[in-house]
Amino acid sequence: MTDATIDPPVGTGSRGRRISKHALLVAFGVVMLYPLLWMVSSSVKPTELIFRDPSIWPSRLTLGNYVDGWSALAHPFHYYLVNSALIAIGAVIGNLLSCSLAAYAFARLKFRGRKFFFAAMLATLMLPIHVLIVPQYVLFSKLGWINTTLPLVVPKFFAHDAFFIFLMVQFIRQLPRELDEAALMDGCGHFRIYWRIIIPLSVPALTTSAIFTFIWTWNDFFSQLIFLTNPDLYTVPVALRSFLDAQGETNWGQLFAMSIVALAPIFGFFLAGQRYLTQGLATTGLK
């Protein structure tokens, strides 16, 4: 999983071709990113300007949108950020623990029914969440878990996100079995192998899983919409949407400012960990 297997060498080709290729790529990149850049620039423009001035360079700068938007909802915005963060962190811990356990079994242990269980695990990846959501909602409401964070976090501790099992299995398979065998010959039990050998070596896969889990949970609107009805528990996506409904026509500047704040953690992870993301992605696609 190094870059060498993924990045092609810098090519040759005529200078003209290379320049025009760069030009095309840059142009396309600008078009791709323009909406994002425009949102950032609009967040520092006064709201009236947003409707009149399509350029990225604000003729007037103001931080008012951030200041006012922060307190525009029932709670200051960091309240929602914390709610989202707690759930996301819980999800990350749950996923790392339960998915790595299952992945070790699938990747390293031979047991009766392994093929069958693995196929079943893969099949769940194709399940539309909507088949599960109604009965899950009923189950959680009977348990009294609606309006708590439990429905969002507990299933993660039971490897509900099978995708990460798959990701980690692919990774662990690439680790040399000799390490396991040596440890076994030394009399180590499987748990020790798992904890002392495989896990430390799987840090790249664990990191990828952690980052993806965090981002997906941070962005997850549907289940948070359904399971969190108390406004005090609102997470960032739900809070943003209620902001849009309540003040969308009149407060675009503040809305954009808070949207940027909401995206910041994702962007941060992207910058810091994009290697993990792209490599993790690529691994799932390769045989």
Partner 1 sequence: MGNTSFRRRLVGVVLAGVTALASTACGLTGGDDGGGDGTVQLRFSWWGNNDRAAATQKVIEAFQAANPNIRVKGEFADFNGYFDKLATQVASNDAPDVITMGGAYPREYGDRGALLDLSTVKGELNMDRLDKAALENGYFSGKQYGVPSGVNTYALAADPEVFAKAGVPLPDDSTWTWDDFVRIAQQLAAKLPEGSYGIADPTSMETLTIFARQRGEDMYTADGKLAISKQTLVDWWTMATGLRDAKAAPPAQVTAELVTQTGPEQTLIGRGLAGMQFQWSNLLTALRKASGHQLIMLRAPGESTRPGMWLQASQLYTINARTKHPKEAAKFVDFLVNSEAAGKIILIDRGVPANSQVRDVIQPDLDADSAAAADFVAKAAPLVGPPGAIGPTGSTDSVDILNRLNAEVLFNRMTPEKAADEFLKQLTAAITK
Partner 2 sequence: MSDRGGTGMPSPPAPAPGPPPHAQPPATGQAPVAGRPAAAGSVRGRGPDVPPRRRRRASFARRRDRVAYVFLAPWFIGMVVFTIGPIFASLYLSFTDYTLLSPPKWLGFDNYREMLDDPRLRKSLVVTFQYVFVSVPLQLILALGLAMLLNRGVRGLAIYRSVFYLPSLLAGSVSIAILWRQIFGNDGLINQVLDLVGIEGTSWVAHPDFALGTLVLLNAWTFGAPMVIFLAGLRQIPQMYYEAAAVDGAGVVARFFRITLPLLTPVIFFNLVLQMIGAFQSFTQAFVISGGQGGPADATLLYTLYLYDRGFGSFEMGYASAMAWSLLVVIAALTAANFLLAKRWVFYSD
16 sits near partner 2 (criterion: CB under 8 A): no
15 sits near partner 2 (criterion: CB under 8 A): no
**Roughly what angle, to the nearest 10 degrees, separates helices 77-108 and 203-219?**
140
CA–chain centroid gap for 133, Å, is: 20
Pick between residue 21 and residue 192 the one whose CB is nearest to partner 1.
192
- Binding piece for partner 2, criterion CB under 8 A, among 64-72, 74-82, 132-140, 195-203: 132-140
- Among candidate residues 124, 131, 190, 191, the one with its CA nearest the CA of residue 159: 124
Location of structure tokens 């490599």 = 279
Binding residues for partner 2, rule CB under 8 A, total 135
Query: For partner 1, which residue of 62, 124, 147, 223 counts as binding (CB under 8 A)?
Result: 147
- Position 193, amino acid: I
Contact 92, 210 (CB under 8 A): yes
175 sits near partner 2 (criterion: CB under 8 A): no
Contact 172, 202 (CB under 8 A): yes
Q: Give the max Cα distance, the chain.
A: 73
Location of structure tokens 């810091």 = 272
**Token pair listed for 110:** 């031979």
> Least distance to partner 1 from the beta carbon of 49, Å?
16
Binding partner selected for residue 155 from partner 1, partner 2, none, CB under the kind-specific 5 to 8 Å limit: partner 2
181 sits near partner 1 (criterion: CB under 8 A): no
Contact 50, 42 (CB under 8 A): yes
> Least distance to partner 2 from the beta carbon of 232, Å?
19
> Least distance to partner 1 from the beta carbon of 138, Å?
9
Interface residues with partner 1 (CB under 8 A) are 72, 74, 83, 86-87, 89-90, 93-94, 97-98, 101, 137, 140-141, 146-150, 153-154, 157, 187-192, 195, 226, 229-233, 242, 245-250
